Chain A
Amino acid sequence: MTRFEALLESHLAGALTPDEQREFAGLLTVDENRRVFDAHRRTARLLAGVSLPPLYPTFTEEVLARLPEQRAPWWERLWDAFWAPRALRWNLASAVALSLVIAASPLVWKAWPGRPPEVLEHSSVVTVVRFNFEAAGARQVALCGDFNGWQPDQIFLSDTTGRGHFSVTLPLKPGRYAYMFVVDGASWVTDPRAEAYRDDGFGNQNALVTIDDRDLDHGET
């Protein structure tokens, strides 16, 4: 770039200092420089009458995308598809909406009525067990154990004979259960004819009943 061209560029940009203006005026006395200057001035006048539309943000990307390019092999395109950086266009409204969705989704999942119940334990077999207890003179006998969360007012034995022979049947899943009888709502009594016993830690013996898992018949032997 010559000195005149540099000064011309600054002149068109309106950035000449007073010293440079004097130097530029001196150079314009040369005919060749004068012709170039006039040509630029005419072009500038023409452009001043043209209204330019504002460029939209993706103009450059779209122009570049339309440019013809050599077709790359499929593995390179696949690689690019995975690793090529992409511009994420977002606004505050969509960001707020996305954040709300992220925040609310666990609650929706928790409360969704159609969600199947969580299976904690699977057992296809329930064994019906009869509990018997002799308590002549007792008005009420309740059965209480691991199987009912030790609720003393839930399972009552019935005396069908009227002679103090109380019994109740209960469906139980495979497992081992500790239990006791509660006579007349106050007295805790260990089953005297249980198959096994265990110290309850509170000074009494719990009776034990074991329900074998019939599924074992089909499992490991």
Chain B
Amino acid sequence: MARRKYRGIVLLSAMALSAPWCTRATAQELETRGELARVLERAELPSESKALVRQKAVEAVRAGVAERDVADLVQRGVRRNVQASDLVRLLDVVTQAKRQELPTGPVLDKMREGLAKQVPSDRIVTVAARVSGTLATSRDLVRRAERDGVRVEAPTERVQAIEAIADALGRGVAPTAVGELSRRIAEAPRDRATMARLNVGGQVTADLVAMRVSPREAVETVGAALAQGFGVRDIVRLRERLAQELKRGRTPDDGAARLRDEIRAERPEAREGSPEKDPSRDRPGRDREGPGGGRPGRR
């Protein structure tokens, strides 16, 4: 009787312990029966190559990359006649990025872009790996900013900041300069020591560089705005203000220098009470070239 009782307990324990594995295995079975499986079935690849790609694709899904993204990447690669070995390398790059807890969106975007532009696979792998490396540096900078006291108010802010700072780094802004920006934010009063400000600071720095301002000048300009206690909206407006300087015929670096002088001369109370505070003035496209001007215009 006692033996039967113990047998029942052992059986029950074994079933309870195996439940998570059963669930996981079943979920993976479903995954491989889904979009990814359909793409792999249709892929015109030799059976050995197909098996290799399947193995790497499943690894990517297990690492946490969305099955839809993996299937999409495989589908595009096969459509562009990418060799299975190169496809495997692409999958490896995105899997490694996920395992390092990096946002995989920019990595996958760069791969999609390269495949669309029919860039040689080797080059796509190299560039995507570089994007992943930049994201890792950015992630470290964001973590350091958090340790220094920059507050994260919503989990998505962290990912957005990592992507924005990676964008700035990719445009030639030095990690030390980003560190300086985050230090200025961390030193601000608590209500302004936010990741949202670091995110926007990174974005606008990257944008100023895209407007041909040198990385050093861009960091100086955004840094001046942060030091003056500019909020998110005012930092975003730096782009428009620089565009106005460029329209007046200044070179990008001269325009940035002029903008800095203006920022340093501004009194916080003047900004708070100025027409800049009027939200309607900040609506996108207010003073931008309209449709037909050649640039993207807002309606």
Contact = CB atoms under 8 A, between A and B. Distances in A.
**Are A and B a genuine interacting pair, yes or no?**
yes
B179 interface: no
Interface stretch (B44-52, B81-89, B137-145, B233-241): B233-241
Interface residues of A, number: 58
A134 B167 CA distance: 29
B295 A176 contact: no
B234 A129 contact: no
Q: Which residue of A104, A149, A200, A202 has the most chain B CB atoms within 10 A of its CB atom?
A: A202
Given A103-B19, A150-B113, A202-B119, A132 B27 contact: no
Interface in A107-162: 107, 110, 121, 127-132, 134, 144, 146, 149-152
Contacts of B15: 95-96, 99
Contact of B284 (A131, A150, A169, A212): A212
A96 B8 CA distance: 11
Contact of B112 (A106, A149, A167, A201): A149
Interface in B13-31: 15-16, 19, 22-23, 26-27, 30
A176 B203 contact: yes
A112 B6 CA distance: 37
B297 A129 contact: yes
B233 A167 contact: no
A202 B171 contact: no
Nearest to A221: B231
B161 to A, nearest CB: 14
A149 B72 contact: yes
Interface stretch (B35-43, B94-102, B258-266, B285-293): B285-293
Contact of B210 (A146, A197, A200): A197
A152 B127 contact: no
A219 B233 CA distance: 8
Interface stretch (B54-62, B220-228, B275-283): B275-283
Contacts of B298: 127-130
B21 to A, nearest CB: 9
B33 interface: no
Given A196-B210, A216-B233, A95 B8 contact: yes
A202 B114 contact: yes
A217 B284 CA distance: 11
A221 B296 contact: no
B177 interface: no
Given A92-B8, A201-B130, A220 B297 contact: no
Q: Which residue of A110, A121, A176 has the most chain B CB atoms within 10 A of its CB atom?
A: A176
A188 interface: yes
B232 A221 contact: yes
A76 interface: no
Contact of A106 (B27, B171, B294): B27
A60 to B, nearest CB: 18
B210 A131 contact: no
B12 interface: yes
Q: Which residue of B113, B194, B284 has the most chain A CB atoms within 10 A of its CB atom?
A: B113
Q: Which residue of A95, A102, A178, A221 has the most chain B CB atoms within 10 A of its CB atom?
A: A221
B186 to A, nearest CB: 16
B156 A121 contact: yes
Nearest to A145: B113
B112 A95 contact: no
Interface stretch (A23-31, A66-74, A203-211): A203-211
Contacts of B112: 149-150
Given A131-B296, A151-B116, 15 more contacts: A92-B8, A106-B23, A106-B27, A167-B291, A169-B299, A193-B294, A194-B295, A200-B113, A202-B119, A204-B117, A208-B210, A214-B283, A217-B233, A217-B283, A220-B232
Interface of B: 8, 11-12, 15-16, 19, 22-23, 26-27, 30, 72, 109-110, 112-117, 119, 123-124, 127, 130-131, 156, 167, 170-171, 192, 194, 196-197, 203, 206-207, 210-211, 231-234, 236, 239, 243, 272, 277, 279, 282-285, 291-299
6 contacts: A130-B296, A132-B293, A146-B109, A169-B299, A176-B167, A214-B284
